[in-house]
Structure 1
Amino acid sequence: MGVELKPFHLEWLAFQDANPRSVLLAPRGHGKTTVADVLYVLWRVLNDPDARVLVVSNTLQQAKAFLRETAGHLLGPELSRVWGGRKGARWTETEIEVPRRRVAKEPTITAAGTGGAIISRHYDLIVCDDVLDEENTVSAAQREKVRTWFFKTLLPCLEPDGEIHVIGTRWHYADLYGELMEAGWPARVDRALQEDGSALWPERFDAASLAAIRRQAGARIFNCQYQNDPSGYEGAVFKYRDFRFYEPGGEPEGLQVFAAADLAISRSESADYFAFVVVGLDAEGDIYVLESFRDRLTFNGQVEYIISRAALHSPLRIGIEATAYQQALAQELARRAALPVVEIRDTRDKVTRAWKLAAHFETGRVLLRRDAAELQEELLQFPHGPHDDQVDALGYAVELAAGYKDFVVRNF
């Protein structure tokens, strides 16, 4: 059949076989349809030609495509030898039938779309393959519509001793997949990137290619579609729905540029993270986040980085929080490059400062680069995420750009 199965593919099949009701969440491009839909259905039909199977996807067109793949394997030289290759009375885009022992009004396999009518039919196996998409999860009303259809229309079509397997990828923290798992359905959740940083399927998506996808798609989309982690939709302080984006290179010309740093507080080689953010203010008062950076740098490394970015962007002001260590770094910058460094004295705690920054997002004033995945992650995970350095630096840079006077700024 030309299908190469990896160990995790075999685990998917074993998981479905062991659980009459299951939720399998897998990353995009990792073979979930071919394995958990097509191959599983083929195995069931070849073992029981009398089985009545329903395959559902987000659209009828998509379900038809899945059925074509299944039918193609059935008619191929390898499998046709097993069951004889003789088409039944029904063989269309939405229904196929193999020779069977019992008479049933349902064909062997039926294709249907999410929300479609399924009247007076009963099935031994239902496979829900990608029944969710962006359109039917974008609002609470759409999610409720899918939920109602699933519980009131689809589930009653399943025989009491039948199987139903829901396979897909997360779209929203309150989607149907999450509800089923919360209700206790056996679930397996796979991520393209494992906790140790290794790739689930390195031959197809190695860690470097996944990092490139994350930069291109953005943190929220990558985490949902490849990590099955929808938490980015709702942060504790920053909400994804408040984010405005611009494409790299799409910022207007003539921006007034400001920058700010959240400095590592130690001179050691293994210091805390250093963060640097550059923003640009346009004539309408919108603030474009031009770049953001976070890394562990030594004292000299931080100085050199700020000098290099200042040479590129020519900021009107570079904000640095006032502490003894940071004052020393600011003075070194002024000595070596005569940069427009200003000291920021702010007695507010990190969370209070973050709420001030979140207000700018809520009013639509701040625009993020669409490929700034790391910054998006840090904002959406704040204050519970592992890092908050870029959040602090961005807050200072935005306040410099917005011209707020509710904290003291003085020149060195």
Structure 2
Amino acid sequence: MTYISVADEAKFHEFVEQAGDEEKGLELLMRWKCLTDLYYLGSEILGMGKAKRMGDALLDPKFHGWLAETLSRDEHALIQLARGHLKTAWLCVYAVQLLLRNPNERVHIYSITQDFVETTHLVTIKQHLETPLLNKIFPDIVTPRDSPWEVDVKNRLLMRREKVQGEIVMGDQIQVYGVGNTITGKRATVQLFDDLIDKDTVRTIAQMEKTRQWFSGAMPILEPGGIRKMIGTPYHYNDLYHVIEEDEIFDKVYKRPMKVGGKFVCKWWTEKKFKHVTRGMLPYDIKSQYFLDPMPVEDMAFPPPQPTYKVLPDEEVTRYIACDPAATQQKYSDETAIIVAAVTGKGEVYIEREYHGKWAGNETAKRLIGLAAQIKPRKVGIEFGLQEHLKYIIDSEKSNWEEVNKRTLPIYIEPIRVTNRQSKFDRVNWTLGAFVKEGKVHIHESCVDLMAQMDRFNKNYNGKDDLVDAAAMIFQMVEIFSYRTYTKEVPEWRARDYFMIEDMAPKSEGGWERRFIS
């Protein structure tokens, strides 16, 4: 007799009425629970709820309940977890549930080596399928192994296939592959990727690229409408998981480091156990494999935590807006980023707001005009670059705003010039980076995307940095700072009620015609 929660009581009575007796009704309830509740299947039916390690129960209903529920969602998902949190165990339970829901699934499981995926994943799944209680609840699907199963070899599993509209579905129920193995010509309805990388496969760029190419080759294997899940632990700041996240290959990305807010996310862990397990490990390995932060501190421009604040100090401030427009709206392009900052008379910089997205020029212009009307900035700095036409779109939007609101809008646009004499890293490091290190920058706690980009920004970084770029532009506009190599100093600033488009046009500094000027 299994435990019946209050929430399941009504369902139980429904099944009893349907079956005619309580025992059969209970079996129907258990069958329904197995199909709809992954945590129940793993903890109650497959026995994981009784498992212990170092004398303590392995399962944490809250954490592993979250993991089971996340795996069960109908979406392509990348789930990054710290080591020692049973991610492989739950992926195997998920594979079992897939077969219970649809015996005609073709599930492919991929992992770091062929031997590992055979001896860990497929062996575990086969053991689960031999659970007597599971055989009793699903006699039509989980047939006895000695019946025998149609395919029962080290890298494949097929208990039996059901006919679908008079035809037999081709392919095994489960096939397993190690990274690098040939998968061309195979077809799957579900792909499960588990720990495709480890410390040894991220030692060189060539090794990481080899894994990426193999993963790319696995993409066409999935049937249209199929589901793809990936679960793993990062080992390098530019590894496969980073590329997948930056390229938005999956619908959702979930991350659960060892601790959140200073507390272990899984109650099995304690400080004593953590110290025991990580004894002798390098700090970088602990940081990446347990805290999901694979960036070496020495490579970081902004080592976390970033300097945050909640309430602006009670003193006079001058506000600035910086905008870094994206060159295109294509998926591969950066996003347009806008940063709003308040600067005190003492040179303290408070970054108040962040905005970013793939916007068309007119939408970017409307946002800038709306912000300017709201906060009355001293300057709006824009790196026009390839977006020269944005000047005229802003001018048009400003006129529209003034016509609707029946008043002029004082605003001064300062074009931010970026040269090729410096790398992006140096430009950011000498502006935003320098002031952060001096303790002069404070970021509002709501600017989480900016801080996430700062955490990752480094010399070799090629991911999203639009907000970091925009934040660095603030220091090129503020008169009391000395970073004037990018823009032309404005001797006497005043709020203007008009645009000087010609002021924003690049001035000719030389050319053949200058020879004729006396």
TM-score (norm 2): 0.44
Question: Are the counterparts in 1 of residues 236 and 294 from structure 2 also a CA contact under 8 Å?
Answer: yes
Residue matched to 2:125: 70
Question: Are the counterparts in 1 of residues 234 and 288 from structure 2 also a CA contact under 8 Å?
Answer: yes
Residues 140 and 176 (structure 1 numbering): CA distance in 2 closer, same or farther, change over 3 Å?
same
Deviation by residue 1:241-292 (Cα, 9 ceiling, x = unmatched)? xxxxxxxxxxxxxxxxxxxxxxxxxxxxxxxxxxxxxxxxxxxxxxxxxxxx
Alignment of 1:157-306 (within 5 A): 157-184=221-248, 185=250, 186-195=252-261, 197-203=262-268, 205-214=269-278, 216-232=280-296, 235-236=299-300
Question: Are the counterparts in 1 of residues 162 and 169 from structure 2 also a CA contact under 8 Å?
Answer: no
Secondary structure at the counterpart of residue 131 of structure 1 = coil
Residue matched to 1:2: 47
1:48 to 97, 102, 108: 102
Identity fraction in percent: 24
2:189 to 121, 124, 128: 124
Give 1:221 deviation, angstroms: 0.5
Give 1:75 deviation, angstroms: 1.2
Work out the CA distance in 1 between the residues paired with 2:246 and 2:209.
Answer: 16
Residue matched to 1:96: 157
Work out the CA distance in 1 between the residues paired with 2:207 and 2:98.
Answer: 33
Give 1:39 deviation, angstroms: 0.8
Secondary structure at the counterpart of residue 73 of structure 1 = helix
Q: Which amino acid aligns with 2:182?
A: A
Work out the CA distance in 1 between the residues paired with 2:177 and 2:253.
Answer: 23
Tell me how many residue pairs correspond in the alignment. 240
TM-score (norm 1): 0.54
Residues 210 and 167 (structure 1 numbering): CA distance in 2 closer, same or farther, change over 3 Å?
same
Work out the CA distance in 2 between the residues paired with 1:122 and 1:165.
Answer: 16
Work out the CA distance in 1 between the residues paired with 2:227 and 2:202.
Answer: 25
Residue matched to 1:22: 77
2:205 to 120, 130, 140: 140
Deviation by residue 1:105-131 (Cα, 9 ceiling, x = unmatched)? 421001110111012111011111111
Give 1:46 deviation, angstroms: 0.8
Alignment of 1:109-120 (within 5 A): 109-120=174-185
Residue matched to 1:256: none
Work out the CA distance in 2 between the residues paired with 1:237 and 1:26.
Answer: 25
Question: Are the counterparts in 2 of residues 172 and 233 from structure 1 also a CA contact under 8 Å?
Answer: no
Give 1:233 deviation, angstroms: 7.1
Question: Are the counterparts in 1 of residues 143 and 159 from structure 2 also a CA contact under 8 Å?
Answer: no
Work out the CA distance in 1 between the residues paired with 2:108 and 2:265.
Answer: 29
Question: Are the counterparts in 2 of residues 236 and 381 from structure 1 also a CA contact under 8 Å?
Answer: yes
| Structural RMSD (CA) | 2.6
Question: Are the counterparts in 1 of residues 161 and 169 from structure 2 also a CA contact under 8 Å?
Answer: no
Runs of 4+ in 1 over 6 A off after TM superposition: none
Q: Which amino acid aligns with 2:122?
A: L
Question: Are the counterparts in 1 of residues 179 and 211 from structure 2 also a CA contact under 8 Å?
Answer: yes
Give 1:232 deviation, angstroms: 2.0
Residue matched to 2:468: none
Indicate whether 1:32 and 2:87 are aligned. Answer: yes
Question: Are the counterparts in 2 of residues 172 and 230 from structure 1 also a CA contact under 8 Å?
Answer: yes
Work out the CA distance in 2 between the residues paired with 1:210 and 1:142.
Answer: 30
Residue matched to 1:84: 143
Residue matched to 1:332: none
Residues 202 and 144 (structure 1 numbering): CA distance in 2 closer, same or farther, change over 3 Å?
same
Unaligned runs of 5+ in 1: 240-350, 353-379, 383-412
Give 1:76 deviation, angstroms: 1.8
Question: Are the counterparts in 2 of residues 213 and 222 from structure 1 also a CA contact under 8 Å?
Answer: no
Residue matched to 1:57: 111
Work out the CA distance in 2 between the residues paired with 1:238 and 1:212.
Answer: 30
Q: Which amino acid aligns with 1:190?
A: R
Residues 93 and 233 (structure 1 numbering): CA distance in 2 closer, same or farther, change over 3 Å?
farther
Secondary structure at the counterpart of residue 171 of structure 1 = coil
Secondary structure at the counterpart of residue 165 of structure 1 = strand
Structure with the larger RCO, 1 or 2 (CA within 8 Å, 6+ apart): 1
Return the index of the structure with the highest Cα Rg. Answer: 2
Secondary structure at the counterpart of residue 222 of structure 1 = helix
Residues 48 and 237 (structure 1 numbering): CA distance in 2 closer, same or farther, change over 3 Å?
closer
